[in-house]
Amino acid sequence: MNEQDWDDVATTFEEEIFNVPENDTKGLITEAIERLASPEATATDLGCGVGRTLPLLSRNFAHVQAVDVSSQCLAVAERACAECNNITYVHADLSNDRNGYPATNVVLCINTLLNASITVREPLFDRTCRSVKRGGHLVLVVPALGSALLTAYRRLQWNLRDGMSPEQAQLETTKNDAGIEHGIVQIDGVPTKHFLREELEASLLARGFAVDTMEKLEYGWDTEFTAPPRWMKAPYPWDWFLVAKRMR
């Protein structure tokens, strides 16, 4: 999705864009932000969208930058967070623009590194990393490739239990030719980057980060399927949640 697509979705964001913080039932994001919080420190919400996590950052840091490529999303965020008086709103395309704002102690980046195009995503990943001060932390949530494959398996399992022939069950599950070997999986028809744990470790190491924590941020099956059957329990679908420290 490009700038225009994100602008178009700004007024229907809550209905259309999956709410990671709301579905973070273990509170991994809040726990990490509160652990890294300091009254002198600064934070950036990179790809802040309509500002779901801005109040959390606002009450835990001295100053917060809300950065997004969509001026429409930023406008919604600014209205929603009118009572938070320590936030600066920055319109920037992090895949193109130089970082036009200072690096901060903490950068929160939830499902922003999604673009299927490597020429968009790599500069975005680089600039996300450069938005963190040396010695500071990146708190990152990204889609997990293993979770997308598990979801395909669950669909297959469901089809088989419903009496479909194995061939038909498998065919019906095969929905993807977007570039699975590079982690590109369609979500609602949009080719979307998904990550391996090892890929995240390697790409953060190459960008001068050490991963402190990486865990599954798990969701219910109702986030993947309408009316999933009662037998469909753990293992659940997940995004990768990680905290990494900038070493150089």
Answer for which of 43, 52, 192, 207 binds ligand SAM (CB under 6 A) is 52
DSSP 48: -
Closer residue to ligand SAM, CB minimum distance, 47 or 136: 47
Pairing mode, strands 132-143 and 184-187: unpaired
Minimum separation from the CB atom of position 127 to ligand SAM (A): 8
Backbone angles phi, psi at 140, to 5 degrees: -125, 135
Helix (H) or strand (E) holding 215: strand 209-218
Helix (H) or strand (E) holding 46: strand 38-46
Minimum separation from the CB atom of position 231 to ligand SAM (A): 31
C-alpha–C-alpha distance, residues 71 and 100, integer Å:
15
Q: Indicate the angle between helix axes 145-161 and 166-173, nearest 10 degrees.
A: 150
DSSP 222: G
Answer for which of 43, 56, 87, 124 binds ligand SAM (CB under 6 A) is 124
Say whether residue 87 binds ligand SAM (CB under 6 A): no
Residue type for 156, please?
A: L
Answer for which of 28, 49, 116, 241 binds ligand SAM (CB under 6 A) is 49
Minimum separation from the CB atom of position 18 to ligand SAM (A): 7
Count CA atoms closer than 13 A to 95's CA, side-chain side: 17
Answer for which of 44, 104, 112, 131 binds ligand SAM (CB under 6 A) is 112
Say whether residue 169 binds ligand SAM (CB under 6 A): no
Closer residue to ligand SAM, CB minimum distance, 47 or 169: 47
Binding site for ligand SAM (CB under 6 A): 6, 17, 20, 47-49, 52, 68-70, 73, 92-95, 110-112, 124
